[in-house]
Structure formats: structure tokens, C-alpha cells
Structure 1
Amino acid sequence: MSIALRSLLIAPVLLAGSALVAADQAVDFLSFRSSVPDAWVAETPKSEMRQLQFKVLASPGDEVGDGAEFVVYFFGPDQGGTLEANIERWQSQFRGPDGAPVEPTVTQIGTEAIPATLVELRGSYGRSVGMGPGDDVQADRMLLAGVIETPDGNLFPQMHGPAELVAAQREGFVAFVKGIQPVGQTTP
């Protein structure tokens, strides 16, 4: 079934305290299903650890380098580190305007069945695999990172890029996380 056809079969997602968000593109990965905004452009994942990968542009016709990236990582059962270790690593990659560490905003956004945590950081960002900033530090960036606890292992959705663009896409990111369901179930 095509992404477009599947998207017609999934109901809109209602976020607590917000307006109705259309579930534009249904996405299936591993044994899960959710949706992402229609404007997000699917890309071939760059590695086996990336289950989904999308480019998010500020407006049609923008250069790819101007956009944000949305990725869902899965490392396997009991892999990928604890929530606390990931928050510490992500935080170490950010600095405020004065060079001081940036405090993350951490919010529980999951359900009893599928617990999920959202971590938000904004500042100068040097994305890297390990602790501390990488070589290419960029100003006024934002990271939305999730840890979704599933029986199969944790999922790690992330969106990073220009702060204003990522902030504008926050609702779609949260809708993706809250919409995660095992294949065969539908979003309430």
C-alpha cells in the first residue's frame, strides 16, 4: 500500500492542549506505525540504525542545506543508552550565547502503554556521536529528541536544524511520537 493511500486510513491526531493536527503521511517501520506532516520529504536512511529519515524544508524550493533533518534511530533491544545518558550527551553538544551549558526541557509525552520522553535543546550546536560538540558548531540550532520505550527496544526520534524551523515543526514531531502504535492498531 502506498504512503499516500495509507495516510487516508489513519485518523487525525489530537494533541493535549492544541488544535487538531492532520496525520498526513502514514509511516510504517519495524513493527510500528505513526505519521508525519505531508511537507516532510522522505529520504533513504543513511545507515541501518536509521529506520526513518525525512528532510524538513522551511518552504518549497529551499536548498536542502537550509532545512532540518528528522530521523528515527533504533539500535536494538537494550541498546542506545539510558534516558539520562542520552540527555547528558545531547546537552554536552549545546552551548548558550555566553558559552555556558544549555539546560534541556524534558517532558513526558507518552502513554502508559508506550512511555515517551521529549528533550528540547536550543543554542549553538555541534552535533556528534559522543559527548561534547562536534567540529561543525552552528549557532541558533534546536534539537527535539525523543526516547520512546517499546517492548522491542527504545526508539530515538530526533529533529535538528535551524531553531525557528525546528520550533515551527514541534507539533508534527510530538504528533509522530504520540501517534506511535504497533502495526495492527490505530491511533485513537
Structure 2
Amino acid sequence: MKRLLTALALLSLATTSLRAEEGKVSAGNLSFTLPSNLWTAVPTSSPMRAATLQITVEGTDKPLEAVFYYFGSGQGGDTKANIDRWLGQFESPPTSSTEELDANGTKVSLVTATGTYMDGAMFGPKTAKADYTLLGAIIPGPDAPIFIKLTGPKAAVAKITADFKKLAVSPFPAN
């Protein structure tokens, strides 16, 4: 059994590398196009993650991560519940906005929140990160939504917001 799990893990890493070379990453049943060659797919660090992208932004000491979540058919909760959960990850209510992006007839919800972000594992200790921005996208999938979440210093996130929006709507190209 251990060998089977190891083989599956290696296959997953190989598939992630192949998708990165093609400029795409998959989550749920959707294929996302990387907005530029500055974005790279990296192995996921948790079984909760469907995919992880990194981008190095000038002025940051480590790459920012866009994490894709897909919980399976009928799972993941509705848009409002997820927006509320993301906003609840701040020390106090953040400055936030929600917009609907038109992805060729598909509605993609985009959340932007700025404040003191409480960074850390869901049930673990948190570290307060002042002046951080969270970008979150909720993308309707064929059987359940796909969620993309990116956090980082406000100035760095502002530099890649347009790319993040392109990424969020990329599964629905114009005909």
C-alpha cells in the first residue's frame, strides 16, 4: 500500500510539472491558463489543495502563492459563506469589496480584502500580518465551485491583481 501511495504522489508531481510547462493548471474539472510566464505551478503542500501557483513580485522576500481548492461534487459551500470565512481571517473587519467578473457568460466572484491578516493553519496558531491583502475567486465548476486564494503584502498584491483576474476567468475563453 505504501508503494502505491508513493507512486501516486510521484505521478501527481509529474503531472503538475507537465501542466506548468504547458502554461496550464487544473482544478476540479476546469483548466486554468497561467496569465504570464512569471507564474509557476508547484507541488501542493496539503491534500486540501487542488493546485498551487507561485509568483515572485518585486518587494517581497518570498513568492506569493495562489492556492486552488476543490472539495468535490456538491461540496465547498456557497459564495456568501466563503466570502464571510475569508473576511473572518482578518484580525478585525478588513476593508473589502466584492465584484462579479463576466467570464463569457459565467459569473466569477472576486473578493479583495485588506487589513491585518491572521496567517496560519486553520486550527493552528496564527501570525498577524499587517497591511495584507487577500484576493479570492469563486469559480463555478461543472459539479462544485473552485476557490482560488492569494494573500500577501498590499503593495505586492496590487501589482498582480490584473493577472489574478485573468487567471480566475481563464477557464471560460471567448469563442
Deviation digits for residues 80-109 of structure 1 (CA, Å, limit 9, x no counterpart): 1211111111112224xxxx5124210001
Unaligned runs of 5+ in 1: 7-24
Cα RMSD for the two superposed structures? 2.8
Structure 2 Cα separation of the partners of residues 52 and 150 of structure 1: 15
Equivalent residue for 1:33, pick from 26, 31, 43: 31
SS in 1 for 2:127: coil
The yes-or-no answer on 1:92 pairing with 2:88 is: yes
SS in 2 for 1:109: strand
Unaligned runs of 5+ in 2: 1-14
Q: Identity over the aligned pairs, expressed in percent? A: 25
The yes-or-no answer on 1:109 pairing with 2:101 is: yes
Deviates more, 1:135-144 or 1:121-130: 121-130
Structure 2 Cα separation of the partners of residues 87 and 29 of structure 1: 20
**TM-score calculated relative to the size of structure 2:** 0.76
Structure 1 Cα separation of the partners of residues 125 and 133 of structure 2: 15
Deviation, structure 1 residue 134:
5.6
The structure whose residues are more often helix, as a share, is 2
Deviation digits for residues 94-132 of structure 1 (CA, Å, limit 9, x no counterpart): 24xxxx51242100014365321000001110035669x
Distance 1:84 1:5, change over 3 A: closer
Asked if the contact 2:40–2:54 (Cα under 8 Å) also holds between the matched residues in 1, the reply is: yes
Structure 2 Cα separation of the partners of residues 130 and 49 of structure 1: 11
Distance 1:93 1:30, change over 3 A: closer
Distance 1:5 1:39, change over 3 A: closer
Q: How many residues align?
A: 158
Distance 1:134 1:126, change over 3 A: farther
Asked if the contact 1:68–1:162 (Cα under 8 Å) also holds between the matched residues in 2, the reply is: no
Structure 1 Cα separation of the partners of residues 71 and 26 of structure 2: 17
Structure 1 Cα separation of the partners of residues 44 and 81 of structure 2: 25
Asked if the contact 2:55–2:63 (Cα under 8 Å) also holds between the matched residues in 1, the reply is: yes
Structure 2 Cα separation of the partners of residues 179 and 137 of structure 1: 32
Partner of 1:169: 160
Structure 2 Cα separation of the partners of residues 42 and 111 of structure 1: 23
Partner of 2:52: 53
SS in 2 for 1:126: strand
**TM-score calculated relative to the size of structure 1:** 0.72
Partner of 2:110: 118
